[in-house]
């Protein structure tokens, strides 16, 4: 599996990271080095092996379905780059 520049550009888009066109060849090259390393996994026989979901066998705890927290608007907004009138502000999303 080899990654070309257009695949690298597509991955950057999916990851929401702006990559300048001139940086794409080097990026594709690095992906290929890393993926080449990962390809070794194809040597392993994984027939009938379950993918791991939890490294320590445990049943996730449940708690009562009641409000346990809240009313912290000021704290939630305290670190926002742009907060107005109790909301996070972002560029226009809907025309």
Instruction: Please tell me what DSSP assigns to residue 52.
Output: P
Considering the complex, what minimum distance in angstroms separates the CB of residue 83 from another protein?
9
Q: 15: closest CA among 23, 7, 26?
A: 7
Footprint of another protein on residues 1-40 (CB under 8 A)?
A: 3, 8, 11-19, 27, 30-31, 33-35, 37-40
Q: Which of 21, 22, 41, 66 binds another protein (CB under 8 A)?
A: 41
Residue 33 beta carbon to another protein: minimum distance, rounded to whole angstroms: 5
The CA distance from 82 to 89, in Å, is 5
Shortest reach from residue 67's CB to another protein, in Å: 15
- In order of 29, 40, 41, 72, the CA distances from 35 in angstroms are 10, 9, 10, 44
Considering only residues 64, 66, 67, 78, which one is a binding residue for another protein as defined by CB under 8 A?
A: 78
- List of residues 6+ apart from 73 with CB closer than 8 A: 86
SS3 call for 62: coil
Give residues in contact with another protein (CB under 8 A).
3, 8, 11-19, 27, 30-31, 33-35, 37-44, 46, 49-56, 58, 60-61, 63, 72, 75-76, 78-82, 88, 90-93
């Amino acid at each position: 599996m080899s990654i070309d520049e257009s695949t690298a550009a597509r991955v950057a888009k999916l990851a929401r990271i702006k990559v300048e066109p001139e940086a794409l060849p080097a990026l594709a090259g690095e992906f290929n080095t890393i993926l080449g390393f990962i390809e070794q996994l194809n040597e392993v026989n994984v027939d009938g092996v379950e993918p791991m979901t939890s490294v320590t066998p445990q049943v996730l705890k449940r708690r009562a379905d009641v409000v346990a927290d809240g009313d912290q608007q000021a704290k939630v907004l305290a670190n926002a780059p742009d907060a107005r009138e109790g909301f996070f502000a972002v560029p226009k999303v809907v025309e």
